[in-house]
Structure formats: C-alpha cells, structure tokens
Structure 1
Amino acid sequence: MSGQEILAFVRARAAAGALFFDPDGRVMIVQPSYKPQRDIPGGFVEPGETPYEACVREVAEELGIRPPIGRLLVADWAPDPVAGELILFVFDGGLLDAGTLEQVTFADNEITAFGFHPVRDVDGLLVPGLARRVTAAVAARERGETVYLEHGRTLGTR
C-alpha cells in the first residue's frame, strides 16, 4: 500500500457520553457553558484513551461524580460538516439516586445546569441527531441490546 492510499483512510474523532436516569425513568440532559444546545454528559476521547475511559473521565470532570458506568448502548457514525468524521458512543449510566445527585458539582465549569426529562420530550430539547441517538439508546437499554446507528438512525431508516 502506498503512502497516498494510507492518507485516504478516514480518521474519525470519537466522543463518548452516558445516559443517566432518575427513578421515574427520565433521562439527564445537561446545559454546557460553551454552546447553546443541550447535551448529555460526555465529551471527546483523548489520545491513548478508550471510549469507555473517556466517558468515565468526562462524567467525573463535568459532574464531579464517579457512578458506575455500564455497557455500551449505541455506536453512531455521525460525520459533521464542521467537526468532520465522528463516531459517537453512548453508555448506560444507570439510575442516579438522591445521594449521588446531591454530590453533583460543575467542577470544570463546562456544565451550568442539568435536569431530568421524559424521553418523549428529547426531540424538543436536543439537536435532531442527538435526540435520535438518545431515543435509540433508551430503547436499546430497555431491550438489553447495543445498536449501531448512522446519523442517529438505524440502517434502512434514512
């Protein structure tokens, strides 16, 4: 293989986040300080780090807590015209009890607020691709599955 062929390979950036739930089954949505759109806790994978490790680190940095992070719910291939090639991972953060929620702090000032919302409301709260990803992740969690998406959609549903 020539050097030119190697340069033709995709070099995707990766990000990982966690879905957290309250006792009523509502999902945690956060408000980042650096953008107007809401999000889920998480961020980009750093060199030498796995997506799972990035998720654990980002949750600790953004929320100041270290709850157990569970299994992978979604892998989403979601290239963006600005950010480039992206692969986005969503892990199951599970249920956050009152004691854990009392420990939440915005230590790195990346997050300014959080709230729990019914899954049916995410379409009005999140950008479309993330709303689809969150909805698919919740469904995967309920079915005990992991799903592959492209732009937040299962294959064949574009």
Structure 2
Amino acid sequence: MTTAETSAMTSAVTAPVRRALVGAAAVASALVIGSAGTASAATMGFHQTSTSGKAEISGTYEYHVSGTVPQTGEKLYSGSFAGATAKDKVAGDGYEAVLALAYQDWKDGAWHRVTNYVAVVNGSKSWSFKNKKDVKAYACDRKVGTTKLLNCRAAW
C-alpha cells in the first residue's frame, strides 16, 4: 500500500470518528448549557383571548428556581408578571375582561392549590411572586358585578 493510499484510508476512517467526537462534544455542551439554563430565568410573552373572544390578556411572564422544599428537594419558583393586561374587546356588553391565575402556593410547610385568582380586571399591572409552582394564566369573561369567571382559556 502506498503512502497516499494509507493517508486516504486513514482520512476516511478518522473523518467519521472526528464527526462523532465533535457531535458528542456538542451534545455534552448542550446538556451543560441546558442544565445551567434550568437555574436561570425563563421569560415568555403571552397573549390569549377568552373562548367568547370578548376578553384579551397579554404581558410578559418570567420565572426562575428560587429554592427547594427541604423535605423533598422539590423546586420552588419565583418570578413576575410585567405589563399584564386584561382588555375588554366588546365594551358595553355587561361583561369585563379578567386575567385569572391558577397555581400551587408553598406556605406553612405545604402546597396549597389556588384557582380562579383574579389578578387583573379591565386594566394593566405588574407584580412579582415567590414560592409558587404550576403557574397558569387565563383569559376570562366576567359579568359585571359578579365573581364567576366564564369562557376561560389558558395562555399556556
């Protein structure tokens, strides 16, 4: 076998090996970045209408791991809503727009389920939270002067 043939054969064999090693390094980097990313903040814009189309919600939602439950190691989340808006798309119809929340709240050593928490009615505001999980925002209608939420649709 000539030197050129040996060199060509070596290149043919090592190219796939190099590609595999580069691929493995890329996967390892992604895993490291991914696991580091879980500790950093996640931010997302949201926009949704109620099932009737009469209410519209929007804003920015940010959350991050802020601690763990001592007994179980389960993650606690903190974060914020910025520019969270509930807009009435059909003014004068007797209904108002509501941005409602559902979440789990960690307090007094236990998780407490909170549903239909009215966060914004026909307006906009920003706030922060801590020690929550499973946070979901909903666009809902509500008849003026009542508390019952209607036609709710989850934003995520």
Name the TM tier (shorter chain): under 0.3
Say which structure is richer in strand: 2
Q: Which has the higher contact order (CA 8 A, sep 6+)?
A: 1
Structure of greater Rg: 2
TM-score by length of 2: 0.26
Query: Of Structure 1 and Structure 2, which has the larger fraction of its residues in helix?
Result: 1
